[in-house]
Amino acid sequence: MPSKSPPISPSSSDARKGDITDASRAAGWFYSDEVKQHFFHPQNFLQDEAAYQDAYLGMVGSPACGDMMKVWLRVEKDAAGIERITDMKWRTFGCGSAIASTSMLSAMVVENGGMTVEDALKLRPQDILARLGGLPARKVHCSVLGDKALRAAINDYFRRTDQLDRIQVEEGRMIDASAKVTDKDIEEAVLDGAKTVEEVQTKTKVGIGDPSCLPEVEELVRFYREKYYGADKE
């Protein structure tokens, strides 16, 4: 759940490491105004879980991984019969960036009368980051749980409305069940510029709660780098 403590501002040494800059790269290093707004004033945070027992529930992560998230949805059909998410509530155990990311996701999903279920299934961490104005590089992993928790809640909607053929199975082979990271996620991280296991962890959180999968992650990073960029030179 949201912390009462304010986010820690990057120090000057952090700034030199290049945590985050604005879209134009004209300003110094900082947490964007959007991140701070959604941390200090989180939207759609659920105070009373008992009031949402009838909502569709999605959960991802675990306290052992550092972040855990629950998402509650209400879905209704509009006048044209299109399924829209009319309400989204959430609770998360995590840092300020995780809180801001989830708050922004909830705002995106319910704005303008509610996002269609089909469009919500297409949301990815990059979409959340873009609306936040970015996150510090070391905090990007905080945005990767939201879209998965959202899809899990939509799957709960499909299950409870007997639309089993619409359930979305996470692509690829599961590598880290606690973080719900698949080999496809690792492949996308490599394509997005990750060159090492540590960089893949930053993007996906793989192996943070279950380090036993890291040898396999290392092999996959090596495989995908060779597949797309050629063998690394010794």
Distance CA 143, CA 1 (A): 15
* Residue of 186, 149, 125, 5 lying closest to 67 (CA atoms): 149
Active site residue: 35, 55, 57, 65, which one? 65
Asked if 95 is an active-site residue, the reply is: no
Asked if 213 is an active-site residue, the reply is: no
Distance CA 177, CA 206 (A): 9
Active site residue: 115, 142, 186, 213, which one? 142
Contacts 24+ apart (CB under 8 A), 31-34: 31/7, 31/135, 31/136, 32/132, 32/133, 32/134, 33/133, 34/100, 34/104, 34/131, 34/132, 34/133
Q: Could you give the residue numbers annotated as active site?
A: 65, 142
